[in-house]
Each structure stands twice: as structure tokens, then as C-alpha cells.
Amino acid sequence: AQKVTQAQTEISVVEKEDVTLDCVYETRDTTYYLFWYKQPPSGELVFLIRRNSFDEQNEISGRYSWNFQKSTSSFNFTITASQVVDSAVYFCALRAYSGAGSYQLTFGKGTKLSVIP
């Protein structure tokens, strides 16, 4: 079975602080994809990043960076110099193959990030 754990339910930081959102996953698949999504107050889930299990290189995109470590089954997300616009719920997800041609995502329960001005 697939499982994604985001142990941090809510985090509050002051603007310009760095913050790391944790994600730990479980899967028996040797090939899999991991994802991060952002859900701002408007509600729509915004895709941030996809990482496949064979690529353990860290990735940086502006103030965002992702640390993928297969040894610890973790895919953590760091926001550097946080801004108020970063306030949102962030979801980590794992791709599982559910058969019959469908590929489902298993989501964590999300981490609510509040950036205080």
C-alpha cells in the first residue's frame, strides 16, 4: 500500500524566514513519482514539482527547493525567504499504479503554512 505522511499540520513563520515542509512516503514500487502541490486560499491546487524515483538530484526553482532522499523515503520542500503570498496548504503526493490503466495519486493530509508579515 502507498502512504504519504506530512507530520506538520500547521506551521507559522515570520516573513523572510526559511521554512521546510516535511514529506515521508511509503511504497513497494521501485519506480514512482513524487509531487508537491500548493493550495492557496482560493482553493485550486497548483502543481509545483514532479520528481521520479531515479532522480535524486535536489532541485531549486527561485525561492523553492526540494530535497529528495530515497534512503529516508523523504521528499522535503524548503521555501527560502518566505513571503506572505506563500501562505497556503501544501500537499505532498505519491503516484501509484492502481491497475486498469489508471494512475492514482496518494496525497498526504497537507501542511498549512502561514507567513506572518
Partner 1 sequence: SQTIHQWPATLVQPVGSPLSLECTVEGTSNPNLYWYRQAAGRGLQLLFYSVGIGQISSEVPQNLSASRPQDRQFILSSKKLLLSDSGFYLCAWIERPGVTDTQYFGPGTRLTVL
Instruction: For the segment 45-64, give every residue that binds partner 1 (CB under 8 A).
Output: 45-47, 50
Residue 18 CA to its chain's centroid (Å): 16
Is residue 107 at the binding interface for partner 1, with CB under 8 A as the rule? Answer: yes
Q: Using the Cα atoms of residue 42, residue 40, residue 83 and residue 51 in order, give the sign of their dihedral.
A: negative
Q: What is the 3-state secondary structure (H, E, C) of 44-56?
A: CCEEEEEEECCCC
Is residue 66 at the binding interface for partner 1, with CB under 8 A as the rule? Answer: no
Is residue 105 at the binding interface for partner 1, with CB under 8 A as the rule? Answer: yes
Is residue 1 at the binding interface for partner 1, with CB under 8 A as the rule? Answer: no
CA distance readout (Å), 107 to 37, 81, 115: 10, 26, 23
Is residue 41 at the binding interface for partner 1, with CB under 8 A as the rule? Answer: no
Please identify, among the stretches 22-30, 61-69, 71-79, 106-114, the one whose residues bind partner 1 according to the rule CB under 8 A: 106-114
Is residue 90 at the binding interface for partner 1, with CB under 8 A as the rule? Answer: no
Measured at the CA of 65, the angle between CA 62 and CA 71, to 5 degrees, comes to 165
Q: Tell me which residues touch partner 1 (CB under 8 A).
A: 33, 35, 37, 42-47, 50, 89, 91, 95, 100-105, 107, 109-110, 112
